[in-house]
Amino acid sequence: MADPAQKSSDEPLIEPACAVFRRFLKQQGLKFTSERAKILNAVLSKSSVFEADQLLTEMRDVGHSVSRPTIYRTLKHLRHANIIRQVLIDAKQSHYQLSIGQDPQSYLVCIDTNEIFAVAAPEIDEFTRKICSDHGFEPVSHRLIMYGVSPKSQAAEDDESSGNEVLR
Amino acid sequence: MADPAQKSSDEPLIEPACAVFRRFLKQQGLKFTSERAKILNAVLSKSSVFEADQLLTEMRDVGHSVSRPTIYRTLKHLRHANIIRQVLIDAKQSHYQLSIGQDPQSYLVCIDTNEIFAVAAPEIDEFTRKICSDHGFEPVSHRLIMYGVSPKSQAAEDDESSGNEVLR
DNA sequence: CTTGCTGCAAAAGTTTTGCACACGT
DNA sequence: ACGTGTGCAAAACTTTTGCAGCAAG
C-alpha cells in the first residue's frame, strides 16, 4: 500500500482511478466521455463485488441514464485498464470487483444466502507462487473462492432451507 | 472386467460412482434412465474440466444421441449427488469437474491458450478452514484458480500474442 | 472535421422450460 | 398404471454487435 501522497483508507482513491482511466483511454486512442466518467464513479462507489445489471439499475435510480451496451463496453475497458477485475462467483452472470485500491482476490460465499464477502488472505499469495513455479507457470493473478455457511445463516439454520439454489 | 474388490488408481471408480448416482436418484424418487447412465459414463471418462456442450458433442460422435436439455438436467442431478462440481473458470459458460474420485479444486489457467490444468494443492485446505473460522463461516468447499503463463506459452512468447481474450 | 461513442434494436450464446409422448419402477 | 424423463421447440437470460445519429479530440 505505498501511495504517492496521502493514504485515506476510507475513500477509495477516486482521483487516481480517474487519472488512470484517462491515461489508459488516451493511450488507446479512445475518448473519455461523460458516460464513461459516470460509470467509473458508480464503480468506485462499490465497496464489494457487483454485477453489470446492478450497476445499471443503481445509476438509473440516481437519474444517470446509461444504456446496457455502454455499461458492458465500459466495464470491458475498465478491465483492460486494470481498474476492475472479473470475479466469476456465480454461473448466471459475471461479477466485478474494484482492483485499483486494494485487491483481496479471496471471497467467502454463503451457500444459503448467496452473499459474497471479499476477505483478505495474504498467505495465499506465496502458496500460489509456489504452485505456479512447481508447474513451470509464470504467475499472473489468482482467485480463491470459499463456499460455506455464514454466521447469520447458521443461526437461522432451523428455518425452511431457503429455496435458494446451492452453488458449489 | 471389474471385480468387486480391486482398486485400480487409473480407472476412476466407475462402479462406485454409478452406485452413488443410483442411490441418490432412488432416494429422491427419480429414475435411473439409459440417458442418465450414458451421461454419467461420459462424465466419468473426463479426466479434467469439461463443458456441457463439449460433452454433448463427444457423446454424439460416439453415436450416443442425447439432447441438450437432458445433458443440463442430468448435470444438475450429478451436482446435487456430489458426483461433479461446477468450476466457473470462464464467464462464457460453466465448466464441470468430477469430484467423486479425487478433488483437486485448484486450477492453473494459461491466460494465452486458455488451457486449464487441475492441480493438487492440499495446503490450501487448512488455510481456507482458518479463514472461514476467522469470519465465523462454516466451511463447505472452496476453489482456487490461478492465472498465469504456461511453460509452452512462455516458449512461444515471441510469436504474435495469440489474439485470445485475456481472462483475469 | 475526423474518429470514436451512444442508444436502439436485434443477434448470439448458453441454459431453462412447456408440452406431448415414451419409459422406468 | 403411475409418475417421471426425453426431445423438440421456444423462452429466458446475460452479453455482444450493426447501424444511424452524436459528441469528443
B106 contact A CB<8A: yes
Domain contains B47? yes
Are A50 and A110 in a shared domain?
Answer: no
Are A67 and A19 in a shared domain?
Answer: yes
Q: Which of B53, B80, B102 is the last residue of a domain?
A: B102
Place of cell 491458450: B113
Please state the rounded mean pLDDT for residues B63-86.
Answer: 95
Are A62 and A127 in a shared domain?
Answer: no
For residue A123, is pLDDT > 90? no
Binary contact (A121, B110; C-beta < 8 A): no
Domain contains B3? no
pTM of the model: 0.77
Are A109 and A97 in a shared domain?
Answer: no
Q: How many domains does chain B have?
A: 2
Which amino acid makes up residue A71? I
Are B51 and B109 in a shared domain?
Answer: no
Measuring CA to CA, which residue among A127, A89, A134, A140 is closest to residue A111?
Answer: A89
Q: Three-state DSSP class for A140?
A: strand
Domain contains A8? no
| Phi, then psi, of B110 in degrees rounded to 5 | -80, 120
Domain of B47?
A: 14-102
**Which of A106-120, A145-159, B9-23, B42-56 reaches the highest mean pLDDT?**
B42-56
- The CATH number for B78's domain is 1.10.10.10
Domain contains A140? yes
Are A85 and A128 in a shared domain?
Answer: no
pLDDT at A156 (0 to 100): 73
B29 contact A CB<8A: no
Binary contact (A117, B135; C-beta < 8 A): yes
- Report the helix count and the strand count for chain B, using DSSP H and E: 6, 6
Are A57 and A83 in a shared domain?
Answer: yes
Bridge partner residues of B110 (DSSP): B148
Q: Three-state DSSP class for B156?
A: helix
For residue B166, is pLDDT > 80? no
How far is B163 from A88, CA to CA, in rounded Å?
A: 22
Residues with CB under 7 A from strand D: A 31-34, 51-53, 68-69, 72-73, 76, 92-94; B 29-31, 33, 35-36, 65-70, 73-74, 91
| Lookup: cell for A10 | 476510507
Please give the protein residue whose CA is closest to the C1' of the nucleotide C12. B92
For residue B16, is pLDDT > 80? yes
